[in-house]
């Protein structure tokens, strides 16, 4: 049989066989090897080309290339959507009722969650949010807040000094000074942010933590206004049935001053959550406000402290260790 007839014979044989080709991957692979393998039908025809008459080789070569292309296209079209080999899955093997693959999802850090909740409560009460420098000068962090150099109150805060006049802020109260220096009253702000203390790290203290400072300045602000604001905050944050109390305290920048406690049923004791008071007239004088006209209150609370009480966390270090076993619980 000459090569031209062999080409047509292979074409007819291929078209007849492919009509009955099953969807079974193994059968398709066997079919592919039979026609397209290294020792298959098409490869055999190309081997015969070298024995053909030299004058006929170009035309026969064209016929062989056309045969290979046509048969390859027909095979691809027949087997499209199926996979060869053991990894293939027939449509009937897929159970679409099974649950999908679980992809782990991240979540907000518990400190961020707590801070967001605190901000939302105070924003709903008409407070705006302000931010300020974490590295500040001695005047804004201490002196303007009625804590002059060598004052005993400085012993209450172990400070990180950058130089003799520059510190890592020990509280967010420095921002209330910046606000009052740059804005005329009335003012109503909360100031969230990081603060730093040179303290030994333990289950109850850390070298940095987060605070929310509050400041309200107007002409007729009173201590009952302060109490009402904080009572509403505590009940929204910890629940309407929480027991709370105000007790006298001391802060250099407020007079009178108080601390707020809530009752812990699990521990059977009062737990302090924040400090507050009426802005000291000396602070107003330091920023150019007339204390005979303007009155105000201020408060400050630790975000870690609030989060620990809300979620029953007994070690502040857990917030900063990045342990996913802890963080995945929130």
**DSSP code, position 319:** G
- Residues 264-286, mean pLDDT to the nearest whole number: 93
**Confidence tier at 64 by pLDDT (50, 70, 90):** confident
Residue 263 exposed, middle or buried by CB count within 10 Å (0-12, 13-18, 19+): middle
Pair type for strands 128-129 and 187-196: parallel
**Confidence tier at 19 by pLDDT (50, 70, 90):** confident
pLDDT of res. 153: 62
Structural domain spans, the chain: 3-85, 110-327
Task: List, for residues 213-266, the tens digit of each pLDDT value.
Answer: 999 999 999 999 999 999 999 999 999 999 999 999 999 999 999 999 999 888
Of 193, 221, 218, 192, nearest in space to 129 by CA = 192
Of 15, 6, 1, nearest in space to 44 by CA = 6
Of all residues in the chain, the percent with pLDDT exceeding 90 is: 53
Distances from the Cα of 188 to the Cαs of 45, 217, 221, 301, in angstroms?
91, 6, 11, 16
Q: What is the CA radius of gyration of the chain?
A: 40
As given in the structure block, the two tokens for residue 223 are 């201590």
pLDDT of res. 82: 52
Q: Work out the mean pLDDT of the chain and round it to a whole number.
A: 89
- Residues 263-284, mean pLDDT to the nearest whole number: 93
pLDDT of res. 2: 80
Instruction: Identify which of 2-11, 22-31, 89-98, 288-297 has the greatest average pLDDT.
Output: 288-297
Whether the CB-CB separation of 23 and 16 falls below 8 Å is answered with no
Range in 23-27, 115-119, 276-280, 299-303 with the lowest mean pLDDT = 23-27
pLDDT of res. 179: 96
Whether the CB-CB separation of 244 and 263 falls below 8 Å is answered with yes
**Architecture of the 110-327 domain:** 2-Layer Sandwich (3.30)
The CA distance from 61 to 43, in Å, is: 12
DSSP-assigned letters across all residues of 45-82? HHHHHTTS-TTTHHHHHHHHHHHHHHHHHHHHHHHTT-
Whether the CB-CB separation of 129 and 215 falls below 8 Å is answered with no
The CA distance from 255 to 114, in Å, is: 29
As given in the structure block, the two tokens for residue 283 are 């602070």
Q: Is the pLDDT of residue 86 over 80?
A: no
The dihedral built from the CA positions of residue 157, 158, 159 and 165, taken in this order, carries a sign that is positive
Read off the pTM.
0.67
pLDDT of res. 200: 84
pLDDT of res. 317: 92
Cβ neighbors of 93 (< 8 A, separation 6 or more) are: none
């Amino acid at each position: 049989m000459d090569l031209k007839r062999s080409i047509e014979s292979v074409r007819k044989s291929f078209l007849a066989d492919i009509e009955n080709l099953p969807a079974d991957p193994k059968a398709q692979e066997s079919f592919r090897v039979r026609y397209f393998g290294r020792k298959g039908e098409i490869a055999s025809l190309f081997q015969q080309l070298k024995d053909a008459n030299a004058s006929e080789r170009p035309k026969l070569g064209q016929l062989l290339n056309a045969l290979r292309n046509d048969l390859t296209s027909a095979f691809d079209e027949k087997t499209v959507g199926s996979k060869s080999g053991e990894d293939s899955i027939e449509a009937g093997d897929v159970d679409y009722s099974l649950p999908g693959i679980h992809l782990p999802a991240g979540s907000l850090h518990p400190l961020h969650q707590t801070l967001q909740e605190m901000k939302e409560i105070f924003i709903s009460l008409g407070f705006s949010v302000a931010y300020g420098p974490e590295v500040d000068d001695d005047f804004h962090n201490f002196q303007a807040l009625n804590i002059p150099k060598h004052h005993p109150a400085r012993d209450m805060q172990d400070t990180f000094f950058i130089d003799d006049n520059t510190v890592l802020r020990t509280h967010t109260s420095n921002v209330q000074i910046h606000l009052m220096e740059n804005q005329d009253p009335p003012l109503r702000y909360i100031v969230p942010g990081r603060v730093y203390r040179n303290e030994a790290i333990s289950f109850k203290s850390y070298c940095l933590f987060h605070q929310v400072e509050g400041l309200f300045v107007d002409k007729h602000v009173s201590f009952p206004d302060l109490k009402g604001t904080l009572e509403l905050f505590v009940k929204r944050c910890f629940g309407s049935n929480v027991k709370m109390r105000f007790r006298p305290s001391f802060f250099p920048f407020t007079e009178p001053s108080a601390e707020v406690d809530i009752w812990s049923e699990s521990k059977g004791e009062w737990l302090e959550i924040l400090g507050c008071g009426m802005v000291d007239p000396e602070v107003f004088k330091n920023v150019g406000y007339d204390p005979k006209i303007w009155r105000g209150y201020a408060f400050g609370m630790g975000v870690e402290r609030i989060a620990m009480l809300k979620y029953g966390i007994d070690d502040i270090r857990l917030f900063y260790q990045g342990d996913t076993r802890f963080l995945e619980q929130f």
